[in-house]
Amino acid sequence: MSQEIWTAVERYFAQSLIAADPIQEETLRTNAGSGLPGIDVAPSEGKFLHLLAKIRGARRILEIGTLGGYSTIWLARALPADGSLVTLEVDPKHAEVAAANIGRAGFSSVVEIRLGAALESLANLAAEGAAPFDFVFIDADKPNNSGYLEGALRLSRPGTVIVVDNVVRDGEVVDAESGDARVQGVRRLFARMAGDARLDATALQTVGSKGYDGFALAVVR
């Protein structure tokens, strides 16, 4: 069992359960054409995030790590008409490509892209007294994961759902001695989650077109 079959099953699920999606197909084409790395969530994962946000009844969503806005658009689609989404991105080129994709998808007035280092943007949001978010998706630079969790918690309330991408990394997460700063970032995230009485959490491993990886899921008590 390996990559080829994981990709085939993912394609089968997507063909079965996800309606033809010319807008998101164009998003992925635009991202690739603009030279962005192909590290957007997979379509079935994007719809999974969309459904989680819907189940939560999210009206305010926070995303950390925009890239070209592929996951942003999936999440924005879960919002009610008066909902809003703030997404944090450090790379101006990524933010520019995302703005175009988000505009084409019809969410320019729903999504605010905040350009800058996400730890700073999180501190700014807190300082501005931003209303709490109902759903948070953490998917930026992995070494800062625990800092992002901390920042997200300051912008949360009871019932807020926090999802973190890429917590398995081909299984490297179990290597306590890993010299990879991204793996250590994920391990600090788990330590932080485990040690926080406000969080009720689990994690799931995934396979698919993006390889072997996984999501952490937490709810604020």
DSSP structural state of residue 140:
S
How far is 46 from 78, CA to CA, in rounded Å? 11
84 binds, among ligand SAH, ligand DHB, Mg ion, none (CB under 5 to 8 A by kind): none
Query: Within 47-66, which residues bind ligand SAH (CB under 6 A)?
Result: 65-66
- Is residue 89 at the binding interface for ligand SAH, with CB under 6 A as the rule? yes
Q: Which of 30, 71, 145, 160 binds ligand SAH (CB under 6 A)?
A: 71
| Number of residues in contact with ligand SAH under rule CB under 6 A | 19
How far is 156 from 215, CA to CA, in rounded Å? 19
- Is residue 165 at the binding interface for ligand DHB, with CB under 6 A as the rule? yes
- Is residue 39 at the binding interface for ligand DHB, with CB under 6 A as the rule? yes
- Is residue 139 at the binding interface for ligand DHB, with CB under 6 A as the rule? yes
How far is 40 from 139, CA to CA, in rounded Å? 9
- Is residue 139 at the binding interface for Mg ion, with CB under 5 A as the rule? yes
How far is 46 from 185, CA to CA, in rounded Å? 23
How far is 66 from 137, CA to CA, in rounded Å? 10
* Cβ at position 37, least distance to ligand SAH in Å: 7
